[in-house]
Amino acid sequence: MRSRIVCRIFKLAKVALVFFLGVAAHAQTAQTGALGGMVTDPSGSVLPGVGITVTNTSTGQVRTTATQGNGRYLVPLLPPGIYKVEASREGFKAATVEQVRITITETAALNVKLEIGSVKEVVFVEAQPMQLDTTSSALGHITDQRMVENLPLVTRNYTQILGLSPGVSGEVNNSAAIGRGDSSLSSATGGYSIGGNSTNDNNFQMNGTEVNDLAGENNISGGVPVPNPDSIQEFKVQVGQYDASYGRNAGANVDVVTKSGTNQFHGDVWEYFRNTALNANDYFLNRAKQPKGVLDQNQFGFTLGGPVVKNNAMFFVSYQGTRERDGLDSTGGCLTTGFLPPLSNSADTRTAAALAQQFSGEPGLLGGVIMSASDISPTALAILNAQLGNGSFVVPAPQSASGTSTFTSPCHYRDDQFISNLDLYKGEKSQVSGKFFFMNSDQVGAFPNSQLLPDVVTVPGFPQDFTNQFLTDSYLLFQWSSGEPGDPGFSPPFRHSGARVS
Residue 160 main-chain phi, psi, to 5 deg: -70, -20
The pLDDT value given to residue 486:
45
Dist. CA 51–CA 157, nearest whole Å: 43
The pLDDT value given to residue 138:
74
The pLDDT value given to residue 322:
95
pLDDT in tens, 174-203: 888 888 888 887 665 567 888 788 888 888
Mean pLDDT of 469-480: 54
Mean pLDDT of the chain: 79
Architecture of domain 139-335+410-501: Beta Complex (2.170)
Mean pLDDT of 63-80: 92
The pLDDT value given to residue 398:
85
Mean pLDDT of 317-339: 87
Question: Between the CA of residue 144 and those of 81, 102, 238, what are the distances in Å?
Answer: 10, 11, 14
**Closest of 128, 133, 192 to residue 160, by C-alpha:** 192
* Per-residue pLDDT at 214 exceeds 80: no
- Check if the beta carbon of residue 276 is closer than 8 Å to that of residue 328: no
Most confident of 1-5, 83-87, 154-158: 83-87
* Per-residue pLDDT at 332 exceeds 60: yes
pLDDT band at 492 (very low <50, low <70, confident <90, very high): very low
pLDDT in tens, 239-292: 877 877 776 777 888 899 999 999 999 999 999 999 999 888 888 888 888 888
Cα 129 from chain centroid?
A: 33
CA dihedral 153, 159, 164, 169 (to 10 degrees): -120
The pLDDT value given to residue 67:
95
**Closest of 160, 156, 138 to residue 253, by C-alpha:** 138
Question: Between the CA of residue 338 and those of 209, 326, 331, 400, 446, what are the distances in Å?
Answer: 43, 19, 14, 11, 15
- Name which CATH class applies to 2-125: mainly beta
Mean pLDDT of 126-135: 60
Dist. CA 469–CA 124, nearest whole Å: 51
Pairing of β 112-113 and β 33-40: parallel
Question: Between the CA of residue 470 and those of 221, 232, 318, 396, 501, what are the distances in Å?
Answer: 10, 17, 15, 39, 5
* Per-residue pLDDT at 73 exceeds 90: yes
DSSP 229: G
Higher-pLDDT residue of 321 and 492 is: 321
- Check if the beta carbon of residue 423 is closer than 8 Å to that of residue 312: no
DSSP 13: H
**Closest of 386, 393, 382, 390 to residue 345, by C-alpha:** 393
The pLDDT value given to residue 190:
66
- Check if the beta carbon of residue 403 is closer than 8 Å to that of residue 340: yes
The pLDDT value given to residue 35:
93
Dist. CA 114–CA 451, nearest whole Å: 66
The pLDDT value given to residue 307:
96
Range(s) within the chain of domains with CATH label 2.60.40.10: 2-125
DSSP 365: T
The percentage of the chain sitting over the pLDDT mark of 90, rounded to a whole number, equals 29
**Closest of 187, 124, 151, 223 to residue 470, by C-alpha:** 223
**Closest of 60, 63, 145, 73 to residue 107, by C-alpha:** 73
- Which of 28-42, 79-93, 136-150, 207-221 shows the lowest mean pLDDT across its residues? 207-221
Range(s) within the chain of domains with CATH label 2.170.130.10: 139-335+410-501
The pTM of this model reads 0.79
pLDDT in tens, 340-371: 878 888 888 888 888 888 887 766 554 567 77
* Per-residue pLDDT at 451 exceeds 70: no
Dist. CA 454–CA 296, nearest whole Å: 25
